[in-house]
Amino acid sequence: MTVTLSATLAANEDIERRRRAGDRVLHLAFGEAGLPVHPALRDKLAAASERNGYGPVAGASGLRAAAAGYWTRRGLVTDPELVVSGPGSKSLLYGLLLAIGGDIVMPMPSWVSYAAQADLVGSRPILVPAPPGEGGVPDPELVVREVHRARAQGRTVSSVLVTLPDNPTGRLAPPATVARLAEVARELNLTIISDEIYRDLVHDPSLPYTSPAELAPERTIITTGLSKSLALGGWRIGVARLPENAHLLRRRLLAVASEIWSAPAAPVQEAAAYAFGDPPELTERITRSRRLHGVVARAVHERFVAAGADVPVPQGGFYLYPDLGHLRLGGSAEVTKLLLEEHGIGVLPGHAFGDDPSAARVRVAVSLLYGDTAEERLAALNSPDPLGLPWIADNLDFLSAGLRELSPSRHAVPPKPRAALCGG
C-alpha cells in the first residue's frame, strides 16, 4: 500500500516554503479557519493544563454530556452514552471506517481524506456525483445503481458518507436530497456517516438544514468538532454521535480508539466541554465568523465569475469550487500548477477530491485571506466592512489580477514542429 501526504497538508507546506523564499503566494489551498482563539477558550485550556491522566477512551463524561446537549439544542435528542470523543473528527472518521467495515459510498468530489482513509482500512470507495448544482450528498438514485452493481460483483457495501455543508464545493444539500438519501440508505441497509463539522458556519441561518439523523436516526452517525466553527484545528478534538441502539458499533469504535489514540488530550476536553455548551460569548464569536466567511467567500466568488469561471455560490464554510474549463488550459493539475507558479495563487486541484482529472475544477479556501497576524484577523472578524480592510482588499485585487492574466492566448502551448519531409 502506498500512503502519501494529504493533499491539503502537502500544498500548505509547499506554499509556506515558497513564502519563506520570498515569493508572494495567495494562500487559497488550506482549509484552516484563519481566526484567533477566543480568550475564554484559552483560559479554560490553561486552567485544565494540570490534567495529565489518560481518562476514559470515549472521552470525559463532562465533554460527552456537553456534546449531547449541543445536538439536543439542534433538535437531535442525544444520550451522552452514545457520544464518543477523539483527537479530531478526522480520527473518529477513520475509527468508524474500521469499526463498520465493508466498502463505502461517498460524493464526488469530496474531502481529500475520505477516500484516502478508506484505502488505508482496505475499503474500496464508491464515488458517486452529487446532483447538478449541489454538493456533499451523492445523487441518491445513482447510489442505488452503484450499490446494486457493486453487490452484484460480490462486494460488501456497508455505508454512505455525506458532508453538510460541503467541502470542497461550499454547498449545502437541500432537504429533499437528504431525505431521499435517508430512504435509499434504509432500503439498502447502509449506515450513514454525516460529517457536520461546518454546520454552524452555514452563511444564511435561515437556509433549511436537514441532518439525516432527523430522518434515519437508527442508522446515522454524526461527526463534528471545533476546528472550523471556533478555529481550533491545532487542538485536535472531535465528537461522534452514534445511532440509537448502536451498542456493538460503540464497542468496536472504542476498541479501535483504545489501540490508536487511547483518549483525547484531557485539557483540550475540558475546553471543548465548555465550547459545546454554547456559552453566549462563543455563539457570538461563531456568528461573527460565519458572517466573515460568507462575505469573503462571496467576494472571491465574484472574482472568479468575472474571470468567466463556472462556480456555484458558496453557502457554508469557506470554500468554493470553480470550473475554469472555459480557458482550455488543461485539467485540474495543469491549472493548479499554472495558478501557483505563474500567478502566485495557491489552490487545490479537483482530482485530489476524486474529481475527473481532465476537468479544470479547483478547490478554493478563502479563510487565510483575513490577515497574516492575529491582530489583522481579529480586525477582520470585528469589522463591519472586512472587504474594505487594506490587506483583504489587496489580496482580492491580487486574485483578480492573476485571474485576468490566466488566458488561453498567454498560456497557449506552441505546436510541435512538423517533421521535415524527405523528397527524392
Secondary structure of 159-206 in the HEC alphabet? EEEEECCCCCCCCCCCHHHHHHHHHHHHHHCCEEEEECCCHHHECCCC
Q: Grid cell 484552516 — which residue?
A: 32
* Distance, CA of 54 to CA of 60 (rounded, Å): 10
Q: What is the pLDDT of residue 417?
A: 47
Residue with cell 471506517: 97
C-alpha grid cell for residue 398? 491580487
pTM, 2 dp: 0.93
pLDDT computed for residue 102 by the predictor: 98
Rounded to whole angstroms, the Cα distance separating 52 from 110 reads 37
pLDDT at 12: 74
**CA triplet 208, 281, 207: central angle to 5 degrees?**
10
**Which residue(s) pair with 159 in the sheet?**
104, 191
pLDDT of residue 422: 37
**Cell matching residue 213:** 439523523
Q: What is the pLDDT of residue 395?
A: 96
Cβ count near 20 (within 10 Å): 8
Q: What local confidence, expressed as pLDDT, does residue 139 receive? A: 98
- The whole-angstrom separation of Cα 182 and Cα 173 is 13
Q: Confirm if 103 and 155 have CB atoms less than 8 A apart.
A: yes
* Per-residue pLDDT in tens (0 to 9) along the chain, 424 residues: 566 666 667 777 777 787 777 778 899 998 899 999 999 999 999 999 999 999 999 999 999 999 999 999 999 999 999 999 999 999 999 999 999 999 999 999 999 999 999 999 999 999 999 999 999 999 999 999 999 999 999 999 999 999 999 999 999 999 999 999 999 999 999 999 999 999 999 999 999 999 999 999 999 999 999 999 999 999 999 999 999 889 999 999 999 999 999 999 999 999 999 999 999 999 999 999 999 999 999 999 999 999 999 999 999 999 999 999 999 999 999 999 999 989 999 999 999 999 999 999 999 999 999 999 999 999 999 999 999 999 999 999 999 999 999 866 565 544 444 443 333 3
What amino acid is encoded at 130 in this protein?
A: A
Nearest CA to 366 out of 26, 17, 113 is that of 26
Terminal-to-terminal C-alpha distance of the chain: 57
* Grid cell for residue 291: 458572517
Q: Which residue has the cell 476546528?
A: 227
- What's 50-277's CATH class? alpha beta
For the chain, domain boundaries: 7-30+281-405, 50-277
Q: How many CB atoms lie within 10 A of CB 343?
A: 18
Between vectors from CA 89 to CA 244 and to CA 246, what angle results, nearest 5°? 15
**Which residues does 415 contact at the CB level (< 8 Å), separation at least 6?**
none
* CB half-sphere exposure, 317, CA atoms < 13 A: 29
- The CATH H-level (homologous superfamily) assignment of domain 7-30+281-405 is Aspartate Aminotransferase, domain 1 (3.90.1150.10)
